[in-house]
């Protein structure tokens, strides 16, 4: 999860092999820690959900960047598996989710992550292991996604059981190009002598570049605005945290491998810049990053003109007045003028009215569902704008990781 082996020592204190191991064993390394912390924090989550602390007082918990990276990867797989059974289902139409459940959509057992986590891991592995010039390579990433799609590499069950329509189209373009070029499969390539093997790898790489050009041409329209590239982009922000401008640029390029639309690229760039900032500040106790800072990042973000849907969804009704920097004044402005803050305020009122005491049966379900607006007020479809807005709302409306995980899992959609 870096620019490649040539840049890992600059970005993070791990060798390429160690960093790859970090990525692929994140869940195993963190499970014991997270299980204990989840049990210890449920009471905190229960009490916190009944109060509405100002965003400016809710700060990032300081920790080494390595800890943040491990837990970010773990959280991706955990939340993906937790919410997968509710995928494709209308909000409030399914039983409350608080534990891992079997995924009836694909006849899978409990705790199975989906294509989102598999592609995130594929991107992470590419960033960690690609050794070519520059370290970041779209052709290598496209190949990694195809290996997941065709061979089940990094799938939780050894095969691809679901894939987004735009990703399927993009990988179909690459498959057709490989067939036309008569490229050998990776398994066939491994049996070649060294010189022939390198020649075949270069042929496959050239084919990937040709496919990327067609993907950029054919899939850049507004009709290809799915959330696939946003759901996998986390490793870019983790790896490029010390290079904010580079992180945003690489996020756009990462999106374009399958989702070249302007809205998808802009969403990935903004999200990645935020992730990078959080990682940079993770072990800097003197730099207090609050939830208000995160809200301001998206509300004041310079959205490009061709991604106006994101500006309309995430900007405040009125811009922050020049010279207003006091956190209390900034939060007061957004409370009055930002649509997500108005939703948050309404949800808090509903939570106070609807939430039973902590000991009542069904209290956890009531506390979790109380802040959930209607689907009309907060869509959670596969459209990239809906996904980004819903994720930000869950972040703002809850005070613990556990509460946020349950809220998003029970959104459905």
Annotated binding site: 114-116
The terminus-to-terminus CA distance of the chain in angstroms comes to 30
Residues present in the chain in total: 413
Tokens of 220: 């850049």
Which of 189, 188, 256, 273 is CA-nearest to residue 219?
256
Q: Which residues does the annotation place in the binding site for Mg(2+)?
A: 114-116
Q: Are 384 and 258 in contact (CB under 8 A)?
A: no
H or E element, residue 177: helix 165-181
- The number of angstroms, rounded, from the C-alpha of 159 to the middle of its chain's C-alpha atoms is 21
Q: Are 161 and 106 in contact (CB under 8 A)?
A: yes
E strand spans, 266-350: none
Please state, in angstroms and as integers, the Cα–Cα distance from residue 183 to each residue in 37, 176, 177, 179, 208, following that order.
Answer: 49, 10, 9, 6, 11
Burial of 366 (0-12, 13-18, 19+ CB in 10 A): middle
**What is the CB-side half-sphere exposure of residue 53 using CA atoms within 13 A?**
15
């Amino acid at each position: 999860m870096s620019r490649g082996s040539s840049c890992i020592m600059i970005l993070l204190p791990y060798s390429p092999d160690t960093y790859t191991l970090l990525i692929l064993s994140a869940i195993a390394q963190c499970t014991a820690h997270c299980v204990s912390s989840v049990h210890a924090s449920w009471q905190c989550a229960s009490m916190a959900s009944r109060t509405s602390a100002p965003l400016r007082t809710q700060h990032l918990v300081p920790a080494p960047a390595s800890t943040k990276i491990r837990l970010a990867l773990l959280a991706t797989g955990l939340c993906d598996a937790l919410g997968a059974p509710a995928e494709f289902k209308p909000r409030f139409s399914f039983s409350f989710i608080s534990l891992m459940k079997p995924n009836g959509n694909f006849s899978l057992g409990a705790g199975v992550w989906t294509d989102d986590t598999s592609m995130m891991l594929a991107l992470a592995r590419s960033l960690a292991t690609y050794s070519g010039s520059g370290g970041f390579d779209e052709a290598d990433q496209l190949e990694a996604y195809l290996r997941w799609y065709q061979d089940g590499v990094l799938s939780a069950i050894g095969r691809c059981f679901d894939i987004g329509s735009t990703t399927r189209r993009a990988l179909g373009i690459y498959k057709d190009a490989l067939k036309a070029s008569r490229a050998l499969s990776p398994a066939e390539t491994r049996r070649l002598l060294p010189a022939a093997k390198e020649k075949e790898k270069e042929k496959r790489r050239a084919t990937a570049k040709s496919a990327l050009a067609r993907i950029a041409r054919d899939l850049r329209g507004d009709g290809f605005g799915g959330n696939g590239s946003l759901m996998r982009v986390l490793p870019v922000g983790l790896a490029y945290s010390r290079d904010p401008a580079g992180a945003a640029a690489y996020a756009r390029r990462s999106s374009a491998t399958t989702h070249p639309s302007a809205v998808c690229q802009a969403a990935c760039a903004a999200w990645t810049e935020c992730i990078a900032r959080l990682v940079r500040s993770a072990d800097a106790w003197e730099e207090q990053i609050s939830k208000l800072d995160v809200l301001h990042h998206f509300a004041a973000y310079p959205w490009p003109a061709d991604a106006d849907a994101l500006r309309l969804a995430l900007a405040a009704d009125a811009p922050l007045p020049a010279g207003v920097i006091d956190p209390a004044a900034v939060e007061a402005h957004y409370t009055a003028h930002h649509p997500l803050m108005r939703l948050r305020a309404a949800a808090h009122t509903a939570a106070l009215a609807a939430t039973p005491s902590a000991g009542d049966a069904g209290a956890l379900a009531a506390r979790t569902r109380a802040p959930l607006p209607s689907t009309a007020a907060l869509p959670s479809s596969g459209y990239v704008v809906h996904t980004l807005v819903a994720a930000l709302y869950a972040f703002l409306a809850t005070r613990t990781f556990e509460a946020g995980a349950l809220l998003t899992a029970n959104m459905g959609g």
